[in-house]
């Protein structure tokens, strides 16, 4: 008889663990309804062993990189010392993609790690939490999920942590992967993969730094925000630039000052699809920005690029090594 796989479930809070009060407002519960009200063994037909922990209970806007590192360290311990075969993390959706990508960058790419959440509270009509949780567990239990990096499972779709993003404030189909789409679909308890993700190097860190910021460019932007960020405690900046990767010319003097202080500046596009490129050769265009020393990050949105820059800096990277690390989401 084959030994049952051990799946570690780490609850971190979020809507999936909340319920609506009499006024219809969502609030955290004293006890997670997924733990209190669900027959876990019955749900999975005794085909696997679930080990459940509430590692913390926070709305996702309260989750910090330090909490992400706590999750990462718990998963490493579970794999190395406890013989865990897969991990499921329940998480609030507001920052789910950032936590998932942080784990994707810092975990060994071996056992399946699956992040899920919900858009509706446990007692709301059409609540999606229990279904998403079940789908995430079946994915973590799948042999085909090994070696695919951290996955996000929502609404019967499997997405890569690297490219998935929240696209709607309330819709249960909020998590999408622009340009590429999901890499798998879930039908009942079966997970069907039909794409492969290009692998990337794991970045081992034991702490996270602060002082890494994100700004979004806009028409008429000047250098005031750049000057405000230009502080001794600033370690890095990501800019969501216009179009293919351009900035208003009034930002350039302040941007020069940031770069002169050896603060790495990474540029992505604020567009929903496509990649940032140095294609325009005019004042503030991508060609000039690249010559100034701005690093173009291809394929990530602003919040993901910030996580990657933060991880690289926390690893001690600098100069060309750091530039190469954040330049390309596809390696």
Q: Catalytic residue numbers?
A: 15
Closest CA to 177 of 191, 162, 188: 162
DSSP H or E run through 283: none
CB-CB contact of 7 with 133 (8 Å) = no
Alpha carbon distance 123, 33 (integer Å):
9
Residue 212: both structure tokens together:
């890494």
User: Does residue 114 contact residue 145 with C-beta atoms inside 8 Å?
Assistant: yes
Look up residue 219 and give its two tokens: 């028409």
Scanning the structure block, which residue is given the tokens 């602003």? 302
Residue 264: both structure tokens together: 């790495």
CA distance 105 to 314: 12
- Residue 256 CA to chain centroid, in angstroms? 30
Query: Which whole-number Å values give the CA distances from 10 to 58, 116, 218, 289, in the listed order?
Result: 12, 11, 39, 43
Contacts 24+ apart (CB under 8 A), 268-272: 268/238, 268/239, 268/240, 268/241, 268/296, 268/297, 268/300, 268/301, 268/302, 268/305, 269/240, 269/241, 269/242, 269/243, 269/244, 269/245, 270/216, 270/217, 270/240, 270/241, 270/242, 270/302, 271/243, 272/178
Give CA angle at 121 (125, 40), nearest 5°: 95
Instruction: Enumerate the β-bridge partners of residue 242.
Output: 246
């Amino acid at each position: 008889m084959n030994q049952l796989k051990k799946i570690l479930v780490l609850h971190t809070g979020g809507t999936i663990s909340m319920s609506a009060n009499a006024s219809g407002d969502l609030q955290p519960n004293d006890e997670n309804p997924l733990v209190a009200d669900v027959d876990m063994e019955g749900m999975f037909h005794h085909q696997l062993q679930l080990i459940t922990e509430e590692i913390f209970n926070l709305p996702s806007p309260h989750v910090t990189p330090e909490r992400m590192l706590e999750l990462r360290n718990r998963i490493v311990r579970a794999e190395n010392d406890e013989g865990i075969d897969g991990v499921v993390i329940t998480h609030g959706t507001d920052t789910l993609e950032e936590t998932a990508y942080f784990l994707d960058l810092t975990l060994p790419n071996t056992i399946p790690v699956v992040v899920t959440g919900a858009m509706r509270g446990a007692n709301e009509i059409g609540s999606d939490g229990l279904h998403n949780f079940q789908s995430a567990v079946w994915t973590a239990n799948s042999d085909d999920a090994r070696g695919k990096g951290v996955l996000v499972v929502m609404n019967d779709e499997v997405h890569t942590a690297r490219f998935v993003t929240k696209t709607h404030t309330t819709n249960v189909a909020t998590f999408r992967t622009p340009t590429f789409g999901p890499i798998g679909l879930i039908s009942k308890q079966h997970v069907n993969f039909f794409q492969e993700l290009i692998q990337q190097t794991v970045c081992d860190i034991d702490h996270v730094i602060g002082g890494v910021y994100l700004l979004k460019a806009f028409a008429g932007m000047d250098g005031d925000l750049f000057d405000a960020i230009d502080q001794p405690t600033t370690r890095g900046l990501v800019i969501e630039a216009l179009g293919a990767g351009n900035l208003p010319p009034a930002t350039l003097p302040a941007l020069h000052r940031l770069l002169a202080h050896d603060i790495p500046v990474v540029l992505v596009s604020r567009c929903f699809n496509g990649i940032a490129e140095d294609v325009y050769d005019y004042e503030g265009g991508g060609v000039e920005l690249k010559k100034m020393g701005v690093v173009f990050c291809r394929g990530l949105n602003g919040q993901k690029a910030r996580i990657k820059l933060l991880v690289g800096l926390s690893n001690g990277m600098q100069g060309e090594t750091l530039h190469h690390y954040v330049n390309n989401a596809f390696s």
